Amino acid sequence: MASSPLSSMESLRVRDIQPADSAWDVPLVDGLMVPSNVSRILGIPVSLFPTSDRLIWHDEKHGIFMVKYAYHLAFDTVESGRYAAIDGPWLKLWNSTFPLKV
């Protein structure tokens, strides 16, 4: 069975939800994303100049994602108090004790 380009969020690119006519594909964005992200995505102005897609990690000068940068970002966010309160099942998960190696 062949998979479509949108079968995995990992393969999703802006070009998949913004066709050549320089407008967001609203029904597709709405079907793929949670409502809070739909409004954020649709609020991004669409460029009039076509450019190629590329993955960029904005917190690193070379634009390449590395786990250590995500760790530092998460640590800094918690230290500065700029995070939403964790409650419900997530709180139980984060307070659980697990073996260091599985």
Residue spans of the domains in the chain: they are 8-54, 57-102
Strand, coil or helix: 7: coil
Q: Give the span between the Cα atoms of 69 and 59, in whole angstroms.
A: 7
Nearest to 38 by CA among 25, 51, 48, 53: 25
Q: Determine the pLDDT at residue 75.
A: 77
Q: Give the span between the Cα atoms of 70 and 67, in whole angstroms.
A: 5
pTM of the model: 0.42
Which residues are within 8 A (CB) of 14 and not within 5 positions of it... i.e. 6 or more apart?
53
Average pLDDT over residues 38-58: 76
Q: Determine the pLDDT at residue 85.
A: 60
Position 1 pLDDT exceeds 60: no
Q: Determine the pLDDT at residue 2.
A: 46
CB atoms within 10 A of CB 17: 20
